[in-house]
Structure 1
């Protein structure tokens, strides 16, 4: 039987903080406990925010914590063609359409919809896509694309859900409301999520399921802030005929106000803590791993 495979997958758009350390250490500890493998993935598809110096800092901070990982490291920016192929497979199923509204236009549409009552929001609190790009004719879509109008490629969630029934996943950790064991997936709560943009042939949702499959990840250990997104990931896994990993969502490290840590908060950054004399053992104690 093959050993279990874990991964830590940070984005190099800032320096690591205590929350990242907690997740990385949990993955590292799980790999050691089970005789498994730990992979490191650099999720750098956002070319406008990701920087080489942050990627270098990730390697340095993880090594300082005593975390070892297999090489080579997978960098998403080097595999865009793989994500494009997955997107084309979904498109061939008739499940992808271009939407041409800007963020400002979407905000105005939501405001107009809410004049008639509350507009639905996704589990993260963002309003569901309010536009009607699905109703555009093929000719009108082609005209807009040819004219250079920016667009996002969205998943037709209703059509996708009609193809899949009884979606669920195995939760080895605990969800925000105590969910554990077999958890029903509800991807419809997210609406027509973005799968790619004109300038980038992938999104977090699409690339993470493709990478987890290609890297043979058997147990995804990550924060509870991604618990509900697992519904979208399970849907994409089924649509793309990808294997299903088990999931272990962990509690988040919060600041004094009870908020999720931010990369902009220097007081919880590993670099700042190291400069103030913190040790790897001390970081373990700070995140509750003793």
Structure 2
């Protein structure tokens, strides 16, 4: 059975939630080998979680200062592993993940597919193109094809625990190409779920009218439901909310169980980032708005009237 390498994102001593999706994809491709890049001891701390996800082997690519170096430690680890034993490589489709994928593919002379939504047993992949309006199956070449997988596109399935054998490899010493983080200020996290991982997202657009309207309508409804908050590019450009909340081609890609839009028309720039949501509810005063064509439920109403009433009703039922 061939080996499938899975680059593991991790934060605060835990495996990133998207790893479960990568392990689900790996089931049809071969034996899962988790690759953990970080400071000494990182892989051992993550070993129980990775075993539960189905890792047959866990590669500890560790060195002092590795967590402060950008991109290259992961590229070095994956390319050296694939050079020794070829196999598909799965990476989460983040900004860093996509750059790592391109560099690894160049080193191992294999093809790379970015932002895939599925991988077939023959190593072809499913992708959504032209703003998610067309789904295609795409072939990729090389002995170690590299894929970055869209977060939330795969429904993670229950895994059979793996042996989780822990093995270590040596990372090359930093050279003149090395980029190192000299200081780091983490983003302040509020009480709401992370937008990229949330199961429920409330998003607002130009139709909410102002920053005050965004806070009252979008954030008010989100807080009543315990949901994450998102926005369109228009809402961000108009100063209604921070850019970190932007969903779409130049923002965050999401795939929640429930997505509710308030005052959003549905430009392709936005819908390309949320179109794979399980259930889409659109609230707008324009029955011909493009978002209505992809909504499971379209509500023609004034968001200024409906959203506060909905939030109030939810809070009362929770009480």
Higher relative contact order (CA 8 A, sep 6+): 1
**Fold-level similarity (TM above 0.5):** no
Q: Which protein shows a greater Rg?
A: 2
Q: Which is richer in helix?
A: 1
* Band of TM-score, shorter chain: 0.3 to 0.5
TM-score when normalising by structure 1: 0.34
Q: Which is richer in strand?
A: 2
